[in-house]
Amino acid sequence: MDYRGKTPKKLGMDWTENSRDILAISAKNIKNGRLINKDKAHYGDENLYKKWMKDGDIKVGDILMTSEAPLGESYLITKPLKAILSQRTFLIRLNKELADPWFFYSLIQSPMFKMKLLAKATGTTVIGIKQKELRKIIVDLPSLNIQKKIGYYFKVIDQKIRLNNQINDNLVELINLIYLKFCADFPAKEKVSLDDVFNTSTKTFNVNENKNGRLQEIT
């Protein structure tokens, strides 16, 4: 699926911008295999969704790929997701008799595939790829049985990465809460500038002058 150029106004409607409604996923929401910036995304109601997604819903096993700005970021749908496929985003629905979703998802993130993607891309300021050029890219696929075995390991690794990312996000949130509780509300003893807190220097470190590998303190 590719809804390049489609906007709510062309359908006689508009975004609701209500985060309780249906998320509209664009290229700016996909990065490093994750959905990001959902708080900055557009949202639409059920009527807009039905008019926009007339070719069908997003399904588990589908892959979202950005077509430009940035090019080639991807996200594998691993659980049911109701969303509007918005600007600069392809939806890739695999033939399950030929390709395993986890294997193919890992394949399109590989440096080799990225090179093939760039070879078909066009543009100077903004590099992007058209659907017809994307479909021309040739990939090597092992047997489906081997794909599933390899895909299983990719899945386990990806799940571990997502879990670690969630733990990191929770820790950042905890740090912010601790700061607000113990630092932001206490009465300040005095106000000082950063120049009073630490020394700064405009000197640079020259590796050739420090070949012993030891960093010298600059004050």
List, for residues 30-69, the tens digit of each pLDDT value: 999 999 999 999 999 999 999 999 989 999 999 999 999 8
Going by pLDDT thresholds of 50, 70 and 90, the confidence category of residue 214 is low
* Mean pLDDT for the stretch of residues 67-76: 93
**Residue 190 belongs to a domain:** no
pLDDT number for residue 219: 43
Please give the biggest Cα pair distance in the chain.
69
- The domain spanning residue 94 has which CATH number? 3.90.220.20
**Residue 53 belongs to a domain:** yes
Write the single-letter amino acid at 127. I
Phi/psi for 162 (5° steps) reads -65, -40
For residue 193, the Cα-to-chain-centroid distance in whole angstroms is 38
pLDDT number for residue 105: 96
**Residue 197 belongs to a domain:** no
From CA 56, how far away is CA 80, in angstroms rounded?
13
From CA 112, how far away is CA 163, in angstroms rounded?
27
**Residue 87 belongs to a domain:** yes
**Any residues with CB less than 8 A from the CB of 131 and at least 6 apart, and which?**
2, 4, 67, 90
Write the single-letter amino acid at 104. F
pLDDT number for residue 166: 85
pLDDT number for residue 189: 64
Selection from 107, 105, 106 nearest residue 92 by Cα: 105
pLDDT number for residue 150: 95
State the residue range of the domain holding 76.
9-172
Question: Strand 22-25 relative to strand 83-85: parallel, antiparallel, unpaired?
Answer: parallel
From CA 139, how far away is CA 109, in angstroms rounded?
12
**Residue 207 belongs to a domain:** no
User: Mean pLDDT across the chain, nearest whole number?
Assistant: 87
**Residue 117 belongs to a domain:** yes
SS3 178: helix
**Residue 90 belongs to a domain:** yes
* Mean pLDDT for the stretch of residues 196-216: 60
Q: Which of 57-61, 106-110, 171-175, 198-202 has the lowest mean pLDDT?
A: 198-202
**Residue 57 belongs to a domain:** yes
* Mean pLDDT for the stretch of residues 89-106: 95
Q: Full-prediction pTM beyond 0.85?
A: no
List, for residues 2-15, the tens digit of each pLDDT value: 877 788 999 999 99
List, for residues 109-166, the tens digit of each pLDDT value: 999 999 999 999 999 888 999 999 999 999 999 999 999 999 999 999 988 988 888 8
Q: Which of 122-136, 170-184, 198-212 has the lowest mean pLDDT?
A: 198-212
pLDDT number for residue 218: 42
How many folded domains does the chain comprise?
Answer: 1
